[in-house]
Amino acid sequence: MKDLVRLRTSLSEEIENILNEQVKMEGSSSSKYLAMASWCGEHGFEKSEAFFMTQSDEERKHMLKIFKYIADVGGKSISPEIGNINHEFNSLREVFETALEQEIGVTRSIHRIVEACRKANDYTTEQFIQWFIQEQIEEEYIARRIVELFDVIGEDTPGGLFMIDNAIAQVVYDTGAAAAE
Ligand SMILES: [Fe+2]
Ligand SMILES: [Fe+2]
């Protein structure tokens, strides 16, 4: 007797599970960024607060993108339980260093999905997940550039943190597409 539930989807159980774990990770990133927005707002870093509000929104979109994919290919997407969100930070630098670490962790996790897809010969999911690989280049780039601002501008110089907060709004990722034209 074949497993009828499995016949309704081309997704293997292993890939379904790993994708649901990613749904959770993106949802958790969204909540973590919201906590960072809260800390920044509380400490007067207006631009950083806005930055993390936008990031939180983006992570939720990432979560929904995977959530919908699982359902679209006949799998069961799981609405994640998210707990233990840290709201305590010692400095603005620590907030951004934590954000960078988080993005690096997400990149690793996305790469693990690609590995699993290759092992399972799941070319459909591998192609779907490509978008996230590109997205992570941008996410890591921006987080890394912002962390660098703390040294470039200098957080201990008078008005340094104010200047860093303002500079954050200007950090953008240039894909180089314009140069290639
Ligand atoms: Fe994400
Ligand atoms: Fe991200």
- Measured in angstroms, how far is the CA atom of residue 74 from the centroid of ligand 1? 23
**Which listed ligand is nearest to 103 at the C-alpha?**
2
Structure token pair of residue 174: 């240039």
- Measured in angstroms, how far is the CA atom of residue 159 from the centroid of ligand 1? 32
What pTM does this model have? 0.91
Confidence (pLDDT) at 178: 67
**What phi and psi, each to the nearest 5 degrees, are found at residue 24?**
-65, -40
Q: What is the pLDDT along the chain (181 residues), one digit of tens a residue?
A: 556 666 677 899 999 999 999 999 999 999 999 999 999 999 999 999 999 999 999 999 999 999 999 999 999 999 999 999 999 999 999 999 999 999 999 999 999 999 999 999 999 999 999 999 999 999 999 999 999 999 999 998 899 999 999 999 899 888 777 666 6
The one-letter amino acid at 108: R
- Distance between CA 100 and CA 74 in Å, rounded? 34
**Which listed ligand is nearest to 63 at the C-alpha?**
1
The one-letter amino acid at 142: I
Confidence (pLDDT) at 172: 85
132-18-115 Cα angle (round to 5):
65
- Enclosing H/E stretch for 144: helix 123-149
- Distance between CA 69 and CA 178 in Å, rounded? 31
How would you class 143 by CB atoms within 10 Å of its CB: exposed for 0-12, middle for 13-18, buried for 19 or more?
buried
- Measured in angstroms, how far is the CA atom of residue 26 from the centroid of ligand 1? 5
Confidence (pLDDT) at 2: 59
